[in-house]
Every structure is written in structure tokens, then in C-alpha cells.
Structure 1
Amino acid sequence: MACRRASSNMAVSLGASQEQPHHPATSSLEDFVYEEEDFVLPGIGWWRSRSEGPASRPLSRFDNALQSGWEEKMKLGLFRYHLGELQTRIMPGKVRFVAQLNIQRGLERRRPQDIQSVRQRFDPQQFHFNKIKPGEILFRMTRAPACHPPTRGCSQNQGDPSESRLPGIPSYVLMVINVSPLEFGHVLLIPDPTLCLPQILTQELLQFGLESVLLSAHPGFRVGFNSLGAFASVNHLHLHGFYLDWELLIETAPAEPLCPTLNFHFLKDVPAPGFLFYSEGGELGALAHNICRVTDHLVEKEIAHNVFVTRGTAPRGPTHSEAHSGIRVIIWARKSSFGTKEEAAFNVALCELAGHLPIKTAQDFQNLTETSAIDIIQRHLLPEPQLSHLQSQLVTILTE
């Protein structure tokens, strides 16, 4: 099937194209169908000691499907390299960065595309997900009919979120292995690839990401998004998902309320301050809609950004609560990194801003300190006056 248009409006705003290559046939794919009853909503806490570990916890149906399929693909040699247990170091200091040595990803991952704009159009001549091997797809993820889908793509966010869905917006995502994994279970969540949507976040895809975190019984299953100019390496719409068996500071760090009725806060006292939405699992469509109002503004203003979804505590609750009773969605507005430049120790994308540092070389893995890591990260953040002005704009947008 060739790339097709989602609708005439979306084709103009998102750059969908009609003359594109085919993507792998999906008619024979296994479907993972879920409903809200599958969400693991009670507070999920971290194990008290490393000896307990994830093996001591029962997996959810979602975890079983993802992990068993991912491990089978690894046995079949469909990845660019074999990913064993990564050497991990919790860096001394207040932040407790999780540094992991992943030399092969640094050497063998696909070269990032040359990006020059947050709103760059989809280019069929570049690599895109219609070119992946059919064997790289784990399953097609879709909601049961009783589960109400979100209503609008992020770039079409005017109006009430209860309005009917835009024609052509897919009601499923493909769960695809990342062939250059940064951690166990590293996958991509890709909406219908034939729409050829550029890397601009949509409400539909975001809600699938939010629901994926709630479908997992593992406190360390994370989902994230890199915009163009924020180290997205492929300009074809996708989210990242992966497991990390370590707690991160951003899961419990306090946040200052900005719009309490919308659970919109400012995350501070972390190396990379950012905007935070919080939910305990209800009204995910409304949550995705409001997050997209923020990211749409960033796209309009050509501000690069990263989004990170994780289990976490309430922003104004106990900072050391064992139970992570909800999900935190952090949005970082940051300086753009255009071109194909690679940083020395690590690139600053969604993982690094969250406190997870995949390191490319053994020397950097051994020598990197908390101070030097914070310095690298903060070079990519917006200056405080610009961030403060942006905060005022977002509060106005969300309260209109």
C-alpha cells in the first residue's frame, strides 16, 4: 500500500505525500486488543532492593506480549547487535544519574537524518518506516470497541476534544522493535506508516503512549518523544518505549502548580526543569489533548522539545512515596540541535533529560561526573528568561 493522505487539511499541515514507497503488509499481524480494565492503576512501587528486581513481579498481558516478542526477535537476529545486560553505574550525587555503557548503539545505529526545522516535511527519499522488514513488527496495538479513542490530531487541536475523530486518523499503532536498542524491550510506537506523517506529535499517538505505560505492570516502562531538532533521528512519526530497571529523580521531584485544575505544573529542582502534567489514569483523552496544546505551540514557534511519560508520584505529594500512583508527562522545551552533529559522551534527548544516560565510550562511562553531565545537559536548555516567557504563554493558552 502506498502512502496516503489522512485528510486534505492534515496533508497540508503535516506534509503527507501521495507518491511514497510501500510499507510491509500488516494483514497477517497479531493484534493486541485492550480495554481500560487492562490498565494497572493501583500505585506501582519500586522494589526495595535490587535482589527483588523485576523478576519478582508478575507481568501484565501487555508486558508478556512485548517482552516475549522482543526476545524472540533478538534470537532471530533481527537487531543490528545483540543487547545483553548493560553495564550500569549510578553516578554519585544528588541526581543519581543512571549511566549505561552502550558502545554498539553509538557505532551501529542508523545515521540521523539532516534536520533543519521543527516543522520539516516528510521526505520519501529518506529512510522511513514503510521500509522496515515485516519481521521487525511485534504486533498491532488497538483498543477494544468499548474503549473510546481520542478525537483530534495534535496539529488540529482547535475545538472541543469531545468532537468526532478526524477522518483517516488511525485507530491503531504498530509496535516495532528498535533495531538499535538502547535498553531491554526498546520499541517504536508507529501510527499507520502509510500516512507518512512527519515527526510532529499527534493526540492519537500520544494517547496510545499514555495507555502503554498504564498497561505495563513494570514501574520502569517509559515512553517518550523527540521532536525534530531535539535529536529525533527519523522524520516519520513515532514514539519510543523501553524498560529501565532504575528509578529516576523526575518520578518524585516536587513541582510548582501552574494550572492546578489541569494538573499542569513546572518541574524544578532537577538538572533539566520542564513542564509537567500528572494523571492517575482518568480522562486520558483530555490529558493528551492538553499536552498537544503545549507541543503544538512549540511547533508553531519552532521550539524543539522532548516528551517523557513515566509512572510517578503526585507533584505535590510525598517526595519519597513508595507507590507511584499516577503517570507524569514531562515536556522539555530546549535549544534546537539541527544538522547531524553528535555529542561526545551522549546526545541530549528524552532519556538524558530524564536522567538516563546511554554512554557511547568506556572512557566517558568511567570518567563522567554528575557535574559534567549536568553541564552537557544544560547547554541544550532554553535560557531562563525565554523559558519564563514561554511558561506565561502556555498558562494563557491552557486557560483560554
Structure 2
Amino acid sequence: MAVSAGSNETSYLLPPNREAWEERGVPDFVYGPKELTREGVQWPGTPPGPPDTRPPPSPFDSALCSAWRQRMELGLFRYRLGELQTRTLPGPVGFVAQLNVERGVQRRRPQNIRSVRQAFDPQEFNFNKIRPGEILFRLCRRDPDPPGGPQDVDVLVMINVSPLERGHVLLVPEPARGLPQRLLPCALRAGLEAVLLSLHPGFRVGFNSLGGLASVNHLHLHGYYLAHRLPVEGAPSEPLDPGGRVHLLWAVPAPGFLYYARGPGPCLEALIGRVCRATDYLTDHKIAHNVFVTRGAPPGEASFSPTLTGVRVILWPRKASFGVKEGEAFNVALCELAGHLPVKTAQDFSGLTEAAALALIQDCLLPPAQAAENLKDGAKPLQNQ
């Protein structure tokens, strides 16, 4: 069943029982370029509320949040996620720490990943093996532009059964193809457009490479709502190439590449190509990495404005890490590098300091000289574009 992004009807996402999922099949959420929000997204002046009430939700937000809540009521998650204890750590960085004990205890054990370039193994757990009810809808981009534009790719939006926060989903492009966890333009485009379909400033999308704490070797991105600002939204940066197409984001826990687009169109398509060329370079050289997509300010000086004028994509090269480190307050992947720290125990949550968080993060980064070399080499292909 196909429903337009402009429709206010979301009941199509709410089958009455488990059997109805098999009968109806996966519903479609169909959208085009006109549904991508270019401007007007901002943090409210008062502390933001739940993602489905403030600011007013878009059709995408309504569809995702209503279907996600229903799956929670039906018990399809590994645990029932309530309101998470949250605090901002004192200090200049502005880390947002959240206590999520259940995720630390009950999430699925990561696969046995041995290489950043490991092939897809259909015998291992993958997203073709999930329960039908875990799929919320199919994200269908329908572009009326003439041939030569981006190819339409259907992306399944499914729950993460061990959620970080409310609305935590996975974006999985054409899972039947058995693609390994290597960032492709179709996947990054889906993530960027999901952010642009949302009117909530705290809806973010990210990608963990193999060795960058991806726990499943099957191409996917994470998307979730966090009703708090993060350091990477307005952190300062400096250009790495003469055309200003890629910047160095430096005043956050980890230095990384910063890419920016004001909205959909040729600028966004160029950004997708640049990011994927950089991640291809890192993957080919067996360098783990994490990617984070958020509404944010243009590159340059630090910005503290509540208005988010475009989309920032941050790419971090990092040390390869395979498996979960036991005994640490948190594991370092895409959200931790952005300043969101899901903490595993009450003791660590109450005692965590900015200095301790920075030490954990910096232990996962490449040595400064190697990081600088990778940043420089990764920018080279962009300089003549």
C-alpha cells in the first residue's frame, strides 16, 4: 500500500495484529523532492519535548513515531524504553549523557568482525532474518526529474530492537542484495533525505563502518531522535581545500571532515559523492570510520543560533575496534563522537566527567600524526573538483 508523504493518514502503518503484517505486506512511504524541508527547522526557546509533539511533526515524523510506539506496545523490542535519565556534563564540550542500562545488558552480541573490508556472510545474522513486524515502512523516493539524476532505491525503515532513544530505527537499502557494511551513495542519500523529511531538529542519522563498532555486516544506517543539542551542530571549522568543499571540524572531541549542504539539489548530490569517495578511500586503506548527519550551521566560526540552516555531515577516521569493550562507561561510535554518550551503568552515569569522557574517546582515535595524514590524503581527491 503506497501513501504519499503529504498525506495526514498514518493508520496504514498500524496493522491491528501480527498476522496483518504478512497479509498487508510492507507499507510504502512515498516522497519526492518537494517534501524535503530546506529551512525553518530550529530548536525551540524552551527545552524541547518529545519528538512527536514539539516542534510540530512532519508526515515522516508522524509515520515513524506512531509505528515505532506501536511496536513498543506489541513487545517487539528487547526491552521497554522509558524516559531516560539525561544530564549535560559540566565543561566546554557540552556532552549529553544518558543512562541506558538495558541496552548495555540486553543488546545482541556483535558479529565476529575481523576486517574493515569483510565480505557479507548470509549465514550470519542479517536484516533478511528479522521478524516482519520489525519493519515500519519502505522509504520510497520518487523523483520526477529527467534521467541522469539519482536512481530511486527503496529503503526499509525498521526498528532497532535495542534502542538508544525513542524513534531509534535502521535504514536498510534493498536488504535482499546482501550488501556489506560499506557506505554507498544510495544509503547516504537515504540518510540525508530522512533528516530533511523530519521537522524535528534532533533527528539524526549515522553510519558505523566495520571496525567502527558496526555490529552487523549488512549495509545499514541508524536514525534516532534526541531532544538535545549536540556540540557538532555549530562547532567551528576551517577549510581543507581551496574551494571550501571539505572542512576540518576541530573544536569537538574528535577532529574530522565536515561537509555541508543548505538543502536538497545539486549541492547535496555533490556532497554525497565527496563523502563516499572519502569513505571509499578509508575502507580501501582498512581505516575504520564513523559518519554523523545532523541539522546544523554552515562551516566557519562557532554558531550558537537555534536556527539550523542546513545539513552537516561529519566523517571521523578512527582506530579499528572489533567487538564491545566490557567495563567501559560507553563504547565509542557515531553518537559518542558527536557528543551523545549512552552510559551503561548508574554508577558510571553519576560519576562521569568531561575529562573521563574525552579520555575514552581519544583512546579510540588515530594518533595525531596519522589522523592528520589521513585527513590530508582524504581531501586530495576533492581539490580539483
TM-score normalized by structure 1?
0.86
Which SS does the other structure have where 2:240 is aligned? strand
| 1:58 paired to 2:40 | no
Correspondence for 2:377: 393
- Counterpart of 2:164 in structure 1 is 182
Is residue 113–residue 340 contact of structure 1 (8 Å, CA) maintained in 2? Answer: no
Which residues in structure 2 correspond to 1:87-102 (within 5 Å)?
A: 87-102=85-100
Instruction: Work out the percentage of aligned pairs sharing the same amino acid.
Output: 56
- Is 1:271 the counterpart of 2:268? The answer is no
RMSD between aligned residues: 2.0
Moved more, 53-62 or 78-87: 53-62
For residue 261 of structure 1, report the CA deviation from its aligned partner.
3.1
Q: What is the rounded CA distance, in whole Å, between the counterparts of 1:133 and 1:398 in structure 2?
A: 42
Ranges in structure 2 where 5+ consecutive residues have no aligned partner: 1-20
What do residues 114-163 of structure 1 show as CA deviations (whole Å, max 9, x unaligned)? 111000011122111110001000000011241679xxxxxxxxxxxx58
Q: 1:194 aligns with which of 170, 176, 189?
A: 176
**Structure 1 25/262 Cα, relative in aligned 2: closer, same or farther at 3 Å?**
farther
Change (3 A) 1:296 1:148: farther
> d(CA) in 1 for partners of 2:346 and 2:26?
40
- Tell whether 2:109 aligns with 1:125: no
SS in 2 for 1:240: strand
C-alpha spacing 1:317/1:326, structure 2 compared with 1 (3 Å): farther
Q: Give the corresponding residue for 1:306.
A: 290
Instruction: Look up the SS of the partner of 1:330 in the other structure.
Output: strand
1:83 maps to what in 2?
A: 81
Q: CA deviation at 1:395?
A: 2.0
Gap change, CA 1:397 and 1:27, over 3 Å in 2: farther
Conserved 8 A contact 2:61-2:199: yes
> Cα gap change, 1:51/1:358 in structure 2, threshold over 3 Å: closer, same or farther?
closer
- Partners of 1:188 and 1:95 in 2: CA distance: 28
Determine if the alignment matches structure 1 residue 247 to structure 2 residue 247: no
Change (3 A) 1:242 1:298: same
Correspondence for 2:333 among 349, 356, 361: 349
Q: Which residue of 1 aligns with 2:199?
A: 217
From 208, 212, 224, the equivalent of 2:190 is 208
> How many equivalent residue pairs?
361
Mapped contact 2:128–2:176 kept (Cα < 8 A): yes
| Matched residue, 1:383 | 367
CA–CA separation in structure 1 for the residues paired with 2:362 and 2:125: 31
Distance 2:98 2:126 in 1: 28
| Deviations 1:199-239 (CA, angstroms, capped at 9, x unpaired) | 00100011010000010000000000000001000001100
Flag the 1:59–1:340 CA change in 2: closer, same or farther, 3 A. Answer: closer
Contact 2:239 2:246 in 1 (8 A): yes
Where does residue 6 of structure 1 map in the other structure? none
* Residue 140 to residue 396, structure 1, CA distance change in 2 (3 Å): same
Partner of 2:67: 69
Write the distance in 2 (CA, Å) between the matches of 1:173 and 1:305.
Answer: 22
- 2:18 matched residue in structure 1: none
**Is structure 2 residue 31 aligned with structure 1 residue 34?**
yes
Separation in 1, partners of 2:240, 2:136: 40
Cross-structure match for 1:363: 347
CA apart distance, 1:338: 2.2
Query: Partner letter of residue 355 of structure 1?
Result: G
1:236 and 2:225 correspond = no
CA separation in 1, counterparts of 2:356 and 2:124?
35
| Residue matched to 2:276 | 292
State the alpha-carbon separation in 1 of the partners of residues 45 and 95 from structure 2.
Answer: 19
Cα distance in structure 2, aligned partners of 1:147 and 1:73 = 36
Spell out the pairing of 1:101-180 with structure 2 (5 A cutoff). Answer: 101-146=99-144, 171-180=153-162
- 1:287-318 CA-partner distances (Å, limit 9, x unpaired): 11110000000000000000000000011256
Cα distance, 1:43 vs structure 2: 3.7
Q: What secondary structure sits across from 1:234 in the alignment?
A: coil
Structure 1, residues 178-198: CA drift from partner, whole Å, max 9, x if none?
Answer: 011010100000011111111
- Give the whole-Å Cα distance in 2 for the aligned partners of 1:192 and 1:294: 23
What TM-score does the superposition give when structure 2 sets the normalisation length? 0.89
> Could you tell me which residue of structure 2 aligns to residue 16 of structure 1?
none
Instruction: Name structure 1 gaps, 5 residues minimum.
Output: 1-23, 150-161
Q: CA, structure 1 residues 357+39, in 2 after alignment: closer, same or farther (shift >3 Å)?
A: same
Distance change in 2, residues 1:262/1:342 (3 Å): farther
Q: Deviations over 1:7-34 (max 9, x none)?
A: xxxxxxxxxxxxxxxxx97982111000
Report the CA distance shift for 1:382/1:215 in structure 2 as closer, same or farther (over 3 A): same
Contact 2:256 2:375 in 1 (8 A): no
The secondary structure found in structure 1 opposite 2:144 is coil
The C-alpha deviation readout for 1:333-363, integer Å capped at 9, x for no partner, is 0000024544511000001000000000000
Contact 1:263 1:279 in 2 (8 A): no
Deviation, structure 1 residue 285: 2.1
SS class of match (1:307): strand
Partner SS state of residue 131, structure 1: coil
8 A contact 2:48–2:54 mirrored in 1: no
- Provide the secondary structure at the position in 1 that maps to 2:243: helix
